[in-house]
């Protein structure tokens, strides 16, 4: 078995940190914003046993952990790095049943174009910051998305949404007039 390396990256959200590993954890992404929702994932369930963990998000080769406000990263980062390393080495399950997330866009021609832009251009950038974006709907020129992982509750997510994502979609899909985030 190859040695598992874990390194951390800060995210734009000061309450979250990205723990990256040199192994694919999951195809797609999974968000566990609460302990109750994490019951299907052994890995997430174990992370929530730490009383300072407030949220867990998995994508490709990383897990993003959201901490409680009263906890300092300097106190918990080494502990979490060790935990993630051990969990990956022991192949703790991220999700119970493996089902590939095939990229299948649905809807009108405009909706498919929007989903394609979000998938190809926005998703990789958002994942770099430890989060995820999901298309919800397109009505009357308004695209509704859901922000997950470190993007959920991030102070800079509104700027990213309006200046970045909305600008890109308006340029690439002229029917788009506005982009809004749906509350989780």
Rounded to whole angstroms, the Cα distance separating 4 from 177 reads 45
Domains parsed from the chain with CATH numbers:
6-90 (3.30.1370.70), 109-183 (3.30.300.130)
- For 12-34, the pLDDT digits (tens) are 999 999 999 988 888 788 899 99
- Residue 103: C-alpha distances to residues 37, 115, 117, 136, 180 (Å): 24, 10, 12, 15, 22
pLDDT attached to residue 83: 96
Segment 171-176 long-range contacts (CB within 8 Å, at least 24 positions apart): 172/113, 172/117, 172/121, 173/110, 173/113, 173/114, 173/117, 175/110, 175/138, 175/141, 176/114, 176/138, 176/141, 176/143
The pLDDT-based confidence of 46 (bands split at 50, 70, 90) is very high
Within the chain, where are the H helices? 42-47, 73-89, 109-117, 123-128, 157-159, 167-172
End-to-end CA distance of the chain: 39
- Which pLDDT score is estimated for 102? 57
- Residue 82 burial (CB count, 10 A): 11
Q: Over the stretch 131-147, which tens digit does the pLDDT of each residue have? A: 788 899 999 999 999 88
| Cross-strand pairs, 138 | 143
Q: In the prediction, which pLDDT does 184 show?
A: 54
CB within 8 Å of 170: residues ≥ 6 apart: 176, 177
pLDDT score recorded for residue 3: 85
Q: Is 33 exposed, middle or buried (0-12, 13-18, 19+ CB in 10 A)?
A: middle
């Amino acid at each position: 078995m190859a040695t598992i390396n874990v390194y951390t990256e800060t995210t734009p959200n000061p309450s979250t940190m990205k723990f990256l590993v040199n192994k694919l954890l999951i195809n797609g992404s999974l968000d566990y914003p609460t302990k109750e929702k994490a019951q299907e994932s052994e890995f997430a369930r174990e992370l929530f046993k730490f009383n300072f963990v407030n949220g867990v998000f998995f994508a490709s080769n990383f897990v993003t952990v959201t901490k409680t406000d009263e906890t300092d990263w300097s106190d918990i980062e080494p502990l979490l790095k060790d935990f993630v390393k051990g969990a990956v080495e022991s192949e703790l399950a991220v999700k119970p049943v493996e089902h590939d997330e095939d990229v299948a866009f649905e809807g009108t021609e405009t909706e498919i174009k929007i989903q394609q832009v979000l998938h190809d251009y926005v998703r990789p950038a958002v994942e770099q910051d430890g989060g995820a974006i999901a298309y919800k709907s397109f009505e009357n020129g308004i695209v509704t998305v859901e922000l997950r992982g470190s993007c959920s509750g991030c102070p800079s997510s509104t700027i990213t949404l309006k200046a970045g994502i909305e600008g890109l979609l308006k340029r690439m899909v002229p029917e788009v007039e506005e982009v809004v985030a749906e509350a989780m």
